[in-house]
Amino acid sequence: MNSTVPDPPIVVKIGGSTLGGNDTSLQDLVSLHAAGRAIVIVHGGGNVISEWMRRQNLAPNFVNGLRVTDGPSLEIVVAVLGGLVNKELTALMQKLGGPTIGISGMDGCLLQAHVANPDLGYVGEIVRVDPTPVNAIVAAGYIPMISPIAMDVTENSDHAGQPLNVNGDTAAGALAHAMGAERVIFLTDVTGVMDNGGRVIPRLNASTAVSLRNSGVARGGMLPKLDACLAAIADRAVASAHIIDGREQGALMDCVNGNPIGTRITP
């Protein structure tokens, strides 16, 4: 493993819904890393969390694409995201030949958050990102696989220092911004951001994306993705953010190579 400081990384958000039979995303990530690109992965796992919640007779509940997380739900989130899903994805990457280290956003105080909306329970709003541990992993030649669990840094809170559930898209956008990433790519199960007629919008700038978000055209799970894209490209910290269909073979490689796919959002 080399220990030189790498070029700005490509931050990629993957989710359980993108890991289908035709999905080549993990192989694409391994290939990009083998070609010398710095890769940082943030993963989700919402479907797996919901499955385990139902096993415990807990009903999944979402508000504007964010999971309402009470105490029992938080235990499942931490166990599933920080344990089961993170280690399964780490194992898959290594089986494909990609040297990968699985961590959570709590490790090294990477993601720091507070509870912004008590109605959502233990859902964190990220207030600070310290990319030092991720930079060290990347510089050592590894691929970090990060679960979106943040440390609660709310002052005078009984829950301070404990985990908070953070939306994976939000985590990826914040991390990309903090690292000054080359780009951030969100793999999802739709072909991109849609207009009123259900057609993919190939390009958006920040102001148009804000208008689209506020108009109500984008809804549900697309809202945190759009917000994450806007957070990443704020202050031109990241040149571009991409929302693409991770179910398509070679989609990730096409995006990195500049082929038109999905929606590209620029400052």
Element spanning 72, H or E: helix 71-79
- Model pLDDT, residue 220: 79
Q: Which helix (H) or strand (E) holds 67?
A: strand 66-67
pLDDT digits (tens, 9 = 90+) for 173-203: 999 999 999 999 999 989 999 998 889 999 9
pLDDT digits (tens, 9 = 90+) for 70-81: 999 999 999 999
Beta strand 66-67 with 111-115: parallel, antiparallel or unpaired?
Answer: unpaired
Q: How many CB atoms lie within 10 A of CB 26?
A: 21
The dihedral built from the CA positions of residue 87, 17, 202 and 248, taken in this order, carries a sign that is positive
pLDDT at 83: 96
Q: Check pLDDT > 90 for residue 42.
A: yes
What integer pLDDT is reported at residue 1 of this predicted model?
Answer: 42
13 assigned to active site = yes
Q: What is the DSSP letter of 5?
A: P
Q: Which of the residues 45, 46, 168, 173 is marked catalytic?
A: 46
CA distance 224 to 167: 8
Which of 80, 103, 201, 101 lies closest to 150, judged by CA? Answer: 103
Closest CA to 263 of 9, 251, 32: 251
d(CA 267, CA 261): 18
What average pLDDT score do residues 81-102 get? 96
Q: Is 169 a catalytic residue?
A: yes
The pTM is what? 0.94
CB atoms within 10 A of CB 125: 17
CA proximity to 146, closest of 164, 165, 168 = 168
Q: Quick one: pLDDT at residue 217?
A: 85
Indicate if 197 belongs to the active site: no
| Token output for 264 | 């590209």
Active-site annotation holder among 23, 28, 169, 227: 169
* Residue 163 in tokens: 């985990």
Out of 45, 225, 227, 246, the active site residue is 225
| DSSP conformation letters of 84-128 | IIHHHHHHHHHHTT--EEEEETTGGG-EEEEES-GGGBSBEEEEE
In this structure, the number of other CB atoms found within 10 A of the CB of residue 240 comes to: 18
Sheet arrangement for strand 111-115: 124-129, 111-115, 149-152, 163-165
What residue type is 57 in one-letter code?
A: N
Ordered by where they begin, the domains of the chain are 10-266 (3.40.1160.10)
Residue 10: phi and psi, rounded to 5, are -95, 120
| Average confidence score pLDDT of the chain | 93
